[in-house]
Chain A
Amino acid sequence: MFGMEFRRIFNRKTVIMLLLLIALNVTVFLWMYKTGKYESQVSDETYSQHVESILKQGDTINAISIFNKGGQSEYAERNNQKTIDKYASIGEIETVKINGNIIITVIKNRFTHLTICVFMVIFLFRVFQGEEYKSMQTMLYATRNGRKRLAIARWGLSCVSLMVFIILNYAVIFGCVYVIDGYKCSDLLAPIQSVVEFYDCAMKTSIIGYIFFYIAATFLFSFSILIVMWLCMYFSDNRILSMSLMISLMAVEYLMYQVIAEQSKIVFLKYINLFNLVMPGDFLYKYSNYELFNYPVNKLTTEIVLSTALILALSTIIFAIAENKRPIKKSSRLENWFGNVTNIVVGSFHGIIGNCKMFGLEIYKLLIVNRGLVYLVVVAVISCMMLDTSQIKHMGIGALLENVYNTYGGPISEEFVEYYNEQIENLNAVDEQYELALEKYDKGIITEEEFDREQFVYEGYAGARSCVDRLTEQYSYLNRLKSERNIEGYLLSDRGYRILFQSDHSGKDLLVAVVICLLFCNGYAYDKRMRVKELIYSTRDGRNKIHRTRILVMTLLCGIAFALVYGLEFYEIQCVCPMRWWSAPVQSLPFFEGCRVNISLGFLVFLFEVSRFVMMVTLGILVYVLSYSRSSKEALIIPLAGAAIYIKIKAIANPAITITMSAIIIVFTVLGWIYVVRNRKLESKIR
C-alpha cells in the first residue's frame, strides 16, 4: 500500500516539479551567496572572553537585583540565574579558527523554509487529488484498508518524503558551499562556537553535529505544520475552504508573532506559535528565554515540545477522523455559506471574463488557465526576498568620497578645483610636518613619545590621502577626456553604474528566462493539446489577428516580469547607492572611456533596460513559435537551454559579440514569427 501510494503521489510531473523547486532554491541560494550576505563575521573577542563577559554581566545583574526582590524582577532574577548556569556549563569549550560560511548558510538561508512549505502544499494536494469527488472517496472507504490504515500509510509517506526533501535541499546547498569554499572535513568537527555567530549557542556540539540537529529540528517543525495543514484538509472537502482556514490560522499566528512585545505578559503566545515553526528564528542558534508565569522558559525547548506535541496529538486525531469520518454527510452551514459565496465570486469572475475581448481572453488563458499567474507570483516573492534597500553606510574613505560627490558632483567646477587644491595643500603640510618630525627624531631632538604623536596625526590622514588619490585619478581622467576628446566629463560616484553595467546578472537573467518559457510554452501547444487548433483556424480572426494579439499579450506579461525582476533591481540600486547625473556623458565613467558614441548616461541606462526588455520579448516569441511546431515540453526546454547558453556567453563575451548575437537572434525570431503567421501549409493540413 505504501509503495502504491508513493507511486500515486510522486508521479513524473510531481517529481520534476519538486526537483525544479530544489533547483530554484539552490539558484536563489547561490545568488545570495555571491552577494556575500552569508559570510561569517570576524570578531576581536574570543569565545572564552565572550562567555566570561556574559557571566560577569550576570553577576552584576544579580548584585543589583538583591535590592529589588519580588514582582517583575522575579523573572529577571530567575532568567539571569538560568543563563549563568547554562553558560557556566558550556564555558570550557575550546574553539578553533575555521571558515564558518558552511554553517552560516544554514541559518541565514530562509528561502529553504519557504521551499519546504511549498513542498508540503504540493504534497498534500497530491495526497488528496482525485478525492475531491465523493465517488472516489466512497470507493476507498468501502475497502478494508481504505480508512485508518490508508491514513497511517500516508502519514508514514509524508514523514519519509518530507525528511528526504529536506535532506536533499540541504545536501545540495552544502555541496555547493563545499565546492565553492573548499572545506577541510576537519572543520566540520570543530565546536560550533568556533563560528562567531554561534557564540550564543548553548549546545555542546560540533559543526556537523549542529547541521544534523538543524535538519532534524527543521523536519520536526515542518512536519508539525504539515500535520496542521492535513487536519485543515479534513475540515472540508472544499479545498479552497480548507486552504482559507489554514491561511487564516497562519495569519492570526503571524499577527501574534509580530505584535506581541517581548515584555508583554502574553509573550508566551509569541513563542507557542505556529509561525516559529514555519520560519524558525534565531532561537535555533542563540540561547534565549521568555517569560511564562514568572518563569524563564527556553525558546528552543518550547518549539521542540510544541511541535512534538502537535505531531502526536494531531496525528492521533487524524487517524481517528480517518476511521470514523464518512464521505457522505450533510454540508455544514459554513460549507453552504462558503459554497454560495464561492459561486457568487466565481460567477462574477466568469461574467467579467465573458465580457473580455480577444486580448483579455488570451491573458486569462495564459495567466489563469495555464497557471501563468502562479509563476509571476513566485517571481515576485523571490524578487522581494532578494530586495535589500537599506542604504550603504559609508565608512572611512567611502564616506569622504560620498561627501565630495554630493557637494561637488557634476561638471568640474571652480569650487571643486579650489577644494581639491586645498586638500592637496593640507596633505602636503601634514607630509612636511611628518618629515620634519622624522628628521628631528633621527637627530634625537624630539623624544619617541613626541614622534609617536606626530606619526599618529600623520596616519590619521591616511583616509583623506586615499580619498584625494582617488579624486586625483578621477580629476586627471576628466582633464584628459577634455583635452583629448573634447568631452566634458562629470565628477560622479560610479558605484551604482558599476553594479548595473559591470556586475554579473546571470542569476536574474536566468530567472527571467525560466519564467518567460513557463509563461509562454503553452501559448500554441495548449491549443493543439486541447484540440481547438482547427476550431481557431476556422474562425475569421483565428489566423492573423490572434497571433498579433498574442504578441501584444506577451509584451504585456514580459513587462510585468521585467518590472518584477529588473525594475526591482533598479529600485534597489537607487536605494543602496543611487545613480546620479543622468545627463553626464557616458565617458564620465572610466570603464566607458572607449565608447565612441556620445550619449548621456541616462540614455545609456534607458538603452540597456530596453535591450533587456527586447530580449525578453524575443525569447517569448521564440517560445511561442516553437510551441507552434513542437510540444509544450519542447517549447519549454529548447528555448530555456538556448537562453542559458546565451546568458553564459553574454557574461563572458565583449559587448560587440553580445550585440551581434542578440541581433541575429532577434532577426531569426521575427522571421520565425512571420512564418507562423503567414504559413499556409498548416491550413492545407487542416483541410
Chain B
Amino acid sequence: MLLEIENLSQKYGDFVALNSISFQVEEGVYGILGPNGAGKSTFMNLLTDNVLRTSGSISLDGKDILSMGEAYRDTLGYMPQQQGYYEDFSVTEFLKYIGSLKGIAKKELNNIISELLTRLNLEDVRNKKMKKLSGGMRQRVLFAQALLNNPRILVLDEPTVGLDPKERVNMRNMIKEISQDKIIFVSTHIVSDIENIADKIILLKKGEIVAFDRPDNLISRLPIEYEKNLESVYILNFETCD
C-alpha cells in the first residue's frame, strides 16, 4: 500500500496552512509533530477529505482519493482532536451508529464492538451514556470507533489527550500492534507518545515539512549540547515558534 502526497497546498483566504508538501508513505506509524498553526490538523483533514484542497494531490496506490470517494473512506479510520459524540447514545449505541455508517454488517459489528471494548477496558461502561463518561473514557471510545472497520489508513489527531499514564501506554502499545498492515498517522503534542512507536517523524512548521525521517536519525543529527531524545529535536526545530 502506497500513499503519495504531491505538492499538497491548502489556503484559507490569504493564510497558507500547507505549502506544497510532498512525500510518500507505506505501512507503518508516522508521527506528525509541530507547534500550533503548523498545519497538522489541516493535513489530517485533507487526508480524511474533510476539507477541499487548494492544490496538489493525495493518491492511494496510484488513485486520487477524491475520485475513489466511498472506496477510499472504506479504508479510513479517523479520530478527531476534539471530542465529538452524540450525548444521548450509550457507548455501544454510539459504536453501532458509527459502525453502520461504515457499512459493517450487524452481526460482525457486534463482535468487533465487544472485542474493542474489552481491549480498551470499556466493558464496564458499555451501556453508559456518552455524556456521562469521563474525558479519558470518551477518548477511548473515539479511538474504538476509528478501529471499527479495521482501517488500512488510520488518522489519529491527539489520541492520548486526557488519558492516564496507564491508558496512554495501553493505547501506544495497541497502535504499535495494529500497525503491521496499516498506515497510521499520529498527530500529537506529547512527543514521548510517538518516540517509541513511530517509524518516521514528520516535522511541520508553518505549513512546510522541515524534516521527514526515522526518529533515531533525527536524534543522531542533534548538536552535541542537546539531550539525545525526540523532545530535543522538537525544541531545536520549534524553539522560536508558539
Q: Are A328 and B51 in contact (CB under 8 A)?
A: yes
What residues of chain A lie closer than 8 Å to B52, measured between beta carbons?
Answer: 326, 329
**Beta-carbon contacts of B111-147 to A below 8 Å, as 1s and 0s?**
0000000000000000000000000000000100100
**Of B73, B85, B88, the contact of A142 (CB 8 Å cutoff):** B73
Q: Say yes or no: B45 contacts A143, CB within 8 Å.
A: no
Cβ–Cβ contact B70 & A330, under 8 A? no
| Contacting residue for B80 out of A3, A8, A138, A143, CB 8 A | A138
What residue in chain A is nearest B42 (Cβ atoms)?
A328
Q: Is B87 an interface residue (CB 8 A)?
A: yes
Stretch of B90-98, B163-171, B181-189 at the chain-chain interface? B90-98
CA distance A139 to B49 in the complex (A): 11
Residues on B with C-beta less than 8 A from A129 are: 86
Q: Are A145 and B93 closer than 8 Å at their CB atoms?
A: no
Distance in angstroms between the alpha carbons of A136 and B85 in the assembled complex: 6
A680 adjacent to chain B (CB < 8 Å): no
| B73 partner residues in chain A, CB cutoff 8 A | 142-144, 146
Are B74 and A327 touching (Cβ within 8 A)? Answer: no
Known: A4-B97, A329-B51. A145 touches B84 (CB 8 A): no
Are B50 and A142 in contact (CB-based, < 8 A)?
A: yes
* Minimum Cβ distance to chain B for residue A14 (Å): 9
Q: Which residues of B contact A137 (CB under 8 A)?
A: 50, 84
Residues B78 and A142 in contact, CB atoms below 8 Å apart: yes
Q: In the complex, which residues 85-142 of chain A have their Cβ closer than 8 Å to any Cβ of chain B? A: 129-130, 133-142
A146→B101 contact, CB < 8 A:
yes
A357 at the interface (CB under 8 A from B): no
Q: Which residues of A are found within 8 Å of B88, using beta-carbon distances?
A: 8, 11, 13
Residue of B nearest to A7 (CB): B93
Q: Which of B45, B97, B103 contacts A144 (CB 8 A)?
A: B103
CB neighbours (8 Å) of B100 from chain A are 1, 3-4, 145
- Determine whether the beta carbon of B101 is less than 8 Å from that of A8: no
Contact for B87 among A130, A144, A150, CB less than 8 A:
A130
Q: Is B150 an interface residue (CB 8 A)?
A: no
A8-B89 Cα distance, complex, nearest whole Å: 7
Q: Which of B48, B101, B145 has the most CB of A within 10 A?
A: B101
Minimum CB–CB distance from B34 to chain A (whole Å) comes to 18
Q: Pick the contact of A150 from B86, B93, B101, B145 — CB < 8 Å?
A: B101
Complex interface: chain A residues within 8 A of B87 (CB):
130
The answer to whether A144 and B74 touch across the interface, beta carbons within 8 angstroms, is: yes
A261, chain B: closest CB distance, angstroms: 48
B82 at the interface (CB under 8 A from A): yes
Interface residue count for A (Cβ, 8 Å)? 30
List, in ascending order, chain A residues with CB within 8 A of B62's CB: none
Contact status B84-A144, CB under 8 Å: no
- Contact A142 B76, CB 8 Å, known A8-B88, A135-B81, A136-B84: yes
Instruction: Please measure, in the bound complex, the distance between the C-alpha atom of A139 and the C-alpha atom of B73, giving whole angstroms.
Output: 11
A617 to B98, CA, bound (A): 49
Report Cα–Cα, A329/B42, bound state, in Å.
10
Interface residues of A in 297-350 (CB under 8 A from B): 326-330
B48 pairs with A142, CB closer than 8 A: yes
Task: Select B70's contact among A135, A140, A144, beta carbons within 8 Å.
Answer: A144
Q: How far is the CA of A260 from the CA of B111 in the complex (A)?
A: 63
Evaluate contact between B102 and A145: CB separation under 8 angstroms: yes
For residue B83, CB closer than 8 A to chain A, the reply is: yes
Q: Are B49 and A141 in contact (CB under 8 A)?
A: yes
- Looking at B78, B83, B84, the one whose CB has the most chain A CB atoms below 10 A away is B84
**B98 CB contact (under 8 Å) in A130, A135, A139:** A139
Residues of A within 8 A of B145 (CB): 139
Cβ-defined partner of A138 (8 Å) among B50, B70, B77, B98: B50
**Residues of chain B with a CB closer than 8 A to A328's CB:** 42, 45, 50-51
Interface residues of A in 468-513 (CB under 8 A from B): none
B151's nearest neighbour on chain A, judged by CB, is: A142
- Chain B, residue nearest A14 (CB): B88
Interface centre among A1, A4, A8 (most CB of B within 10 A): A4
Given A8-B89, A150-B101, A330-B13, A141 and B84 touching (CB < 8 A)?
no
Residue numbers in A under 8 Å from B70 (CB-CB): 144-145
Give residues 147-182 of A contacting B (CB, 8 Å).
150
The smallest beta-carbon distance between A92 and chain B, in angstroms, is 56
Give complex CA distance A8, B96 in Å: 11
* Chain B residues within 8 Å of A141, by CB: 48-50
Q: State whether A138 touches B103 (Cβ < 8 A).
A: no
Give Cα A619–Cα B12 distance, bound, in whole angstroms. Answer: 57
Q: Mind listing 15 A-B residue pairs with CB under 8 Å?
A: A1-B101, A8-B93, A130-B87, A136-B85, A137-B84, A138-B84, A139-B80, A139-B84, A142-B50, A143-B149, A144-B103, A144-B149, A145-B70, A327-B50, A328-B50
Interface residues of A (CB under 8 A from B): 1, 3-5, 7-8, 11, 13, 129-130, 133-146, 150, 326-330
Extra 20 A-B pairs, beta carbons < 8 Å, given A8-B88, A137-B84, A143-B98: A3-B100, A5-B97, A8-B93, A136-B86, A138-B48, A138-B50, A138-B78, A139-B79, A139-B84, A142-B76, A142-B78, A143-B101, A143-B102, A144-B102, A145-B101, A145-B102, A145-B103, A326-B51, A328-B45, A329-B52
Q: What 8 pairs between A and B have smallest CB-CB spacing?
A: A136-B84, A135-B84, A135-B82, A142-B78, A328-B51, A135-B80, A143-B101, A142-B48
